[in-house]
Amino acid sequence: MKSKFRQVALIGKYQTPASGASGATSRHALETIADFLQTQGCAVVLEQDTAHNMGISAYPVLTVPAIGAQCDLGLVVGGDGTMLGIGRQLAHYGVPLIGINQGRLGFITDIPFGSYAATLAPMLRGEFEEDHRSLMRARVMRDGECVFDTLAMNDVVVNRAATAGMVELRVEVDGHFVANQRADGLIIATPTGSTAYALSAGGPLLHPSIPGWVLVPIAPHTLSNRPIVLANAAEIVIEMVAGREASANFDMQSLASLLHGDRIVVTRSKHHVRFLHPKGWSYFDTLRRKLHWNEGVA
């Protein structure tokens, strides 16, 4: 049976040069998967930066916008960081993504490289689970002007520099004052991002189907400042009130420094990311495997 997906784009780790050992491994993985996709009847293209960094010239090359316009599927080979980057870029094109894990944790690149062929073959025939993930739109407003505007799939983080003291942040939700928080920082995380920095800061896990965000203080001065789950239809505003050397981070994108009075405005994006998982995939299986639950249980 032929593949349901006619043209498939391969996306790898942008920052990995082909000259090192890691790059050689990544190049071999990409070429092996490309050969497999062709045996399944797929036309293979490589994302432009992936092809350049890996030194692969045997396949057509497309920019990310061209992939969004022309391809039926994106196959991401790497770790969650690679998936976050391409997911944001392809979200408004609606191209579904499959992740093959060559990183460490792999919450959203969930297919082990060692079993990619057995797992991908039925998925390419249309046997898969589809999983939609929400995105945040984040803007930094300074003196009434927008100085930074981006999307985030994991989280928006405001935090202090390593050598600086606490920051003071004013938090508003839908125009209502919530609190002034003195802390090392503050995280707004999507359900996808609830297993990332927010989890290590004491936040809860949110199932991907929940239309919510979690607001998590980082080492708050007042211990009664606890994580809170909010509806993702809300507008959240974080204002820099006091402190120095604070920065804002949006997944892997950074605004190096915040000034007093800067306002980070976070709203739900109208776009979402489409993930495809193997048939029978369960979010709880992923949590159990990645967080090592039930280890030592007979």
CATH number of the CATH domain containing 13 = 3.40.50.10330
Contact 75, 11 (CB under 8 A): yes
Which secondary structure element, helix H or strand E, spans residue 37, and what is its range? helix 21-39
Rg (alpha carbons) of the chain, rounded to whole number: 20
Quote the pTM value: 0.91
Question: Parallel, antiparallel, or unpaired: how do β-strands 43-47 and 176-183 relate?
Answer: unpaired
Axis-axis angle for helices 116-124, 21-39 (nearest 10): 40
Q: Are residues 119 and 241 in the same domain?
A: no
Q: Per the structure block, which two tokens stand in for 216?
A: 């998590």
The DSSP letter of residue 290 is H
Q: Are residues 115 and 185 in the same domain?
A: no
Give Cβ neighbours of residue 145 (< 8 Å, ≥ 6 apart). none
State residue 255's pLDDT score: 82
| Domain residue limits at 99 | 7-126
Active site residues: 80
Total domains present in the chain:
2
The answer to the question of residue 278 being in a domain is no
Measured between alpha carbons, how far is residue 171 from residues 221, 238, 261, 267 in Å?
A: 15, 5, 12, 14
The answer to the question of residue 93 being in a domain is yes
| Strand residues in the chain grouped as ranges (E) | 7-11, 43-47, 61-62, 73-78, 97-101, 111-112, 128-142, 145-152, 155-160, 167-173, 176-183, 185-189, 212-218, 228-231, 236-242, 246-250, 253-255, 263-278
Taking only the tens place, the pLDDT of each residue in 10-33 is: 999 865 555 555 657 788 999 999
The answer to the question of residue 64 being in a domain is yes
Question: What are the backbone angles phi and psi of residue 30, rounded to the nearest 5°?
Answer: -65, -45
Domain of 169, CATH number, reads 2.60.200.30
State residue 33's pLDDT score: 96
Q: What is the mean pLDDT of each run of 10 residues along the chain (298 residues)?
A: 88 66 76 95 96 92 97 95 94 96 82 93 96 96 95 95 84 97 96 95 96 96 92 97 89 86 97 96 91 75
10 Å Cβ neighbour count for 19? 11
Taking only the tens place, the pLDDT of each residue in 252-298 is: 888 878 999 999 999 999 999 999 999 999 999 989 988 889 876 55
Q: Are residues 229 and 199 in the same domain?
A: yes
Q: Are residues 144 and 120 in the same domain?
A: no
10 Å Cβ neighbour count for 21? 7
Q: Are residues 140 and 93 in the same domain?
A: no
Q: Are residues 91 and 140 in the same domain?
A: no
State residue 22's pLDDT score: 61
Q: Are residues 54 and 116 in the same domain?
A: yes
The answer to the question of residue 291 being in a domain is no
The answer to the question of residue 62 being in a domain is yes
Question: What are the backbone angles phi and psi of residue 154, rounded to the nearest 5°?
Answer: -90, -65
**For residues 95, 252, 120 and 5, what is the CA-based torsion angle, rounded to 10 degrees?**
20
Contact 218, 185 (CB under 8 A): yes
Q: Per the structure block, which two tokens stand in for 214?
A: 């979690």
121 alpha carbon, distance to own chain's centre: 25
State residue 256's pLDDT score: 75
State residue 183's pLDDT score: 94
Taking only the tens place, the pLDDT of each residue in 38-47 is: 999 999 999 9
Q: Are residues 62 and 171 in the same domain?
A: no
Sign of CA pseudo-dihedral 99, 103, 108, 111: positive
Q: Are residues 150 and 246 in the same domain?
A: yes
The burial class, CB within 10 Å (0-12 / 13-18 / 19+), for 245 is: middle
The answer to the question of residue 1 being in a domain is no
